[in-house]
Chain A
């Protein structure tokens, strides 16, 4: 059975997308994409989002009081009494 004899619909193609993308296979040559601009645009957008994700949420510094709270909690666990460190 060939793709042309029994072409895949958009719904069928998109139903298979999670598995096809997740398994890392190249979809550029997929028969459905050769004649479907909408699914090509969809796939391009999903790839753009995945690519852009690597540059979002930059590495940030925790507030200074986090370390103070950790120190305080460690001392408490060791049985060393000291005043609670306030959460900011």
Chain B
């Protein structure tokens, strides 16, 4: 995955109106590392949108996204000294947030990637290998809201891989490493996610067309 750029926001109430705003991220990290709370607040201000949005995409629930964002920045506070600069700080923090989300999902007993889910036909009738035999075509255009809704309704395993690959831009080998599954499993999971979305998107306009 390419380096994740921070999304700056000087309007945040957490962003102090101080010379900190003029500091580089490296300087902020150094200050936060020594326990400078204002510097940590500024780091939060710089990265909060990206992290919160990532959590929202992965879990699709505002209350959980709030909790996961909180947990990510608490982890950051505890682990900030372990950032060695091997990747950009944004990328490192992004991965930290993903790990926090995955740990939460596993704690809740959710198998993040289920081999059964990935490899077996979905009992709910989601697409199998013959799915393409249906005459469906999206004609190159998609209702963004309908797609967001459909992503929200994906099974957790499909959703995670779809969000990480198609939205966040991670490669299959990176996803396989994060989710502790094979690269083939990641590819299969993504493919089935897209097929499920295709099915949902085709049913969406038909429902609207009905009186």
| Chain A residues within 8 Å of B, Cβ to Cβ | 10-11, 14-15, 17-19, 21-23, 38-39, 41-42, 44-46, 48-50, 52-67, 69-71, 73-74, 77, 87-88
Interface residues of chain B, those whose CB is within 8 Å of chain A, are 7, 9, 12-14, 37, 40-41, 44, 48-53, 56-57, 62-63, 65-66, 69-70, 73-74, 77-78, 129-138, 140-142, 144, 147-148, 151, 162, 166-167, 172, 183-184, 186-188, 190-192, 194-195, 197-198, 201
Closest chain-B Cβ to A25's Cβ sits at a distance in Å of 12
CB contact under 8 A between A63 and B66, given known A18-B187, A49-B198, A49-B201: yes
Cβ contact within 8 Å between B144 and A55: yes
From the candidates A41, A46, A61, name the one contacting B195 in the complex (CB within 8 A): A46
Q: A48-B141, A63-B66, A87-B66 are in contact. List 15 more A-B contacts (CB 8 A).
A: A11-B129, A14-B131, A19-B187, A38-B134, A41-B136, A42-B131, A50-B194, A56-B151, A57-B167, A60-B52, A61-B48, A62-B49, A67-B44, A70-B77, A74-B74
When C-beta atoms are compared, the residue in chain B nearest to A78 turns out to be B35
Q: How far is the CA of A11 from the CA of B127 in the complex (A)?
A: 12
Q: Bound state CA distance, A23 and B196, in angstroms?
A: 20
Give the complex CA separation of A11 and B201 in angstroms.
22
Q: Is the interface of B mostly helix, strand, loop or mixed?
A: helix
The CA-CA distance from A59 to B49 in the complex, in Å, is 6
Among all A-B residue pairs, the 8 with the closest Cβ atoms: A22-B187, A42-B132, A53-B166, A18-B191, A62-B52, A52-B142, A67-B14, A41-B137
Q: Least Cβ distance of A1 to chain B in Å? A: 22
Task: Write the nearest CB–CB distance from B75 to chain A, whole angstroms.
Answer: 11
